[in-house]
Amino acid sequence: VQLVESGGGLVQPGDSLRLSCAVTGFSGRTFSSSTMGWFRQAPGKEREFVAVINWGDHVTYYTDSVRGRFTISRDNARNTGYLQMSALRPEDTAVYYCAAVTMPRVLPTQEHEYHYWGQGTRVTVSS
């Protein structure tokens, strides 16, 4: 299983950016049965949870600092997850990672709950 993030880059405060996470190695049925999450790691800090979208019911959950600005979504037909980021702030600067876990019992927000990880894509918000 491979997760590949894309869409990172250098943007100015207030700009928008959409990250993608393409998943290969899963059958379509397995992907649709997998919960996907996004995490980020800012320079000098621990990796932190950002957002999650559940399999099945597509329930979403966000960390407080991005709620209302970021939107997580998924396209099961394309085996791809997305993180739409708006109103970006300098404090959003980080390497963003997508992660996946198959049919978790609860909505996962901790790193150890995920089985598969991408390599990350860097987002820099600076004027």
pLDDT digits (tens, 9 = 90+) for 8-32: 999 999 999 999 999 998 876 788 8
What band does 48 get if pLDDT is binned at 50, 70 and 90? very high
pLDDT of residue 112: 96
Please give the Cα distance from 67 to 69 (Å, whole number): 5
pLDDT in tens, 80-116: 999 999 999 999 999 999 999 999 999 999 999 999 9
Cβ 36 vs Cβ 118: under 8 Å: no
